[in-house]
Amino acid sequence: MQRRTWLLTFTALAAALTVYGSLGATSSSATARRIYGEAQRLGRGTVRAYITLNPSDARKPLEVGIAFSVDAMDGLPGPRATAAPHGAHGAPTANAPTHEVLDSHTLLFDLPSPNPTPFRFVQLDWNPGGHEPPGVYDEPHFDFHFWTASRDVRASIVPSNPEFDQKAAQLPPEEFRMPFYVDAATAAKAPAGAVSVPLMGLHWLDVRSPELQGLTGHPEKQEKFTKTFIYGSWGGSFVFAEPMITRDYILAKRTADPTQQDEVVPVSTPARAQVSGQHPTAYRITWDAQAKEYRVALTGFEPR
């Protein structure tokens, strides 16, 4: 499929940050029950998905996340000069139409049982050269896709699918959308199929994100990308929630002041969810000195 060149544009910014819902219990409790899934190799270490449960009620999740062993951040693959464009969360601009230095390395993780969350699996992408738009997300970083859709749905999100453009253009109803978020097609004034990413779908971005302010016409407010939170839709449904965080930002937790080693970031959430159950209201970035691991997780679960 021929992709169109575009630059993200936004028409409005939020005046103030709104925090949605209580963050609820955290996994720092000594009695929290953290259950790990099967480990996979990454860098010089391993990565695992995990679920942390309320110790008094296994039906209530505290976190669902990804845990890196301390050495998993070392020896990571670097960008390949001949790599095909990754294409995530944007598209090349006229000044950089191919982004041939970009690359992506993907791992898929099943979630352990019991799993009282609506999330079915986790997709971890390591992007050593970042990805487009240039000057925004071209920092080495990880994408953490927490999927509510099945692996089969993910596998169907390919340009060769005859329904690709149709499915991409089917946006979730307004009542299920997150405040302050805009889909990439609307932002770019482009067809949804042209900006949807294979094996991901159509991305939705928070117009308040500091790294996007230069693209919204407020370059004086632009900040370097360190972390952000994205949603993805396909076929009229939201199919994943995605913290996106640079490697440097995660690594810095290890040497940070102990009061800064565990960070919880509230996110915009809809009033109603398309999939009923426990849904997160925040994400968490942690260095756990005792376990010797970095963790990135969805947290603050509330029923919807």
Tell me: the pLDDT tens digits for 179-189? 999 999 999 99
pLDDT at position 302 is 95
For the chain, what percent of residues have pLDDT higher than 70?
83
Backbone angles phi, psi at 59, to 5 degrees: -80, -10
DSSP, collapsed to helix, strand or coil, labels residue 73 as: coil
Q: What is the pTM of this model?
A: 0.85
Q: Tell me which residue of 240, 245, 232, 255 sits closest to 295, measured CA to CA.
A: 245
What's the half-sphere exposure (Cβ side, CA atoms, 13 Å) at 58? 7
pLDDT at position 25 is 38
For the chain, what percent of residues have pLDDT higher than 90?
73
Tens digits of per-residue pLDDT, 37-80?
Answer: 999 999 999 999 999 999 988 889 999 999 999 999 999 998 87
Sign of the C-alpha dihedral computed for residues 7, 9, 15 and 20 taken in this order: negative
